Homo-oligomer: A and B are copies of this chain.
Amino acid sequence: MTEGKIEKVSIVVSKGSLEGIYPALIMANGARAEGIDANLFFTFFGLDAIHKARHEHIKLATVGNPGLHLATWAGGLPGVPSVMTHYMATKMEKLDIPPIPEFIEMISDTGAGLYACQASVDLFGLSKEDFIEQVDGIITVGEFYEIAAGGQIIYT
């Protein structure tokens, strides 16, 4: 990192909810738009974002999220998470923010690195075949630190 400019960001995606994943993608995309190197490191439930069978079904957390201004009991009613997720997706579409699968593909196309966390992959019994083809590798925490050196680590 030089004094005047951030040269690289390495963003850890640890959550599997819509509102957990989008900020990470927006920060990675925003970095690439400024010519800043960007890496995304998917760990724990964040792995869903690059999981072939799951990445189209990411939902908003409608309970445990007072920011939604939904009564807690209402957020847990059957169907509510899907309705709220659909509502958010519609608003994003209007702003030209793509759905998660397309957004990740787009970010990969800008040259950003996409990595899955080895320990989490083992924990959930997954393998390379479960992930979208844009994933550059399954790496250890040690390898992540090597890749992240000289930049900012942003854990989301």
Residue numbers of A with Cβ under 8 A of B are: 1, 3-6, 9, 12, 14-19, 22-23, 26-27, 29-31, 33-34, 36, 43-46, 48, 54, 58-69, 71-73, 75-78, 80-81, 91-92, 95, 97, 119, 122-125, 140-142, 144-146, 148-150, 152-156
A67 and B15 contacting across the interface, CB-CB below 8 Å: yes
Chain B nearest Cβ from A9, distance in angstroms: 8
Tell me which residues across on chain B come within 8 A of A146, comparing CB atoms: 5
Of the candidates B22, B58, B122, B140, the one whose C-beta lies within 8 Å of that of A66 is: B58
Given contacts A4-B149, A27-B141, A145-B6, contact A154 B156 (CB under 8 A): no
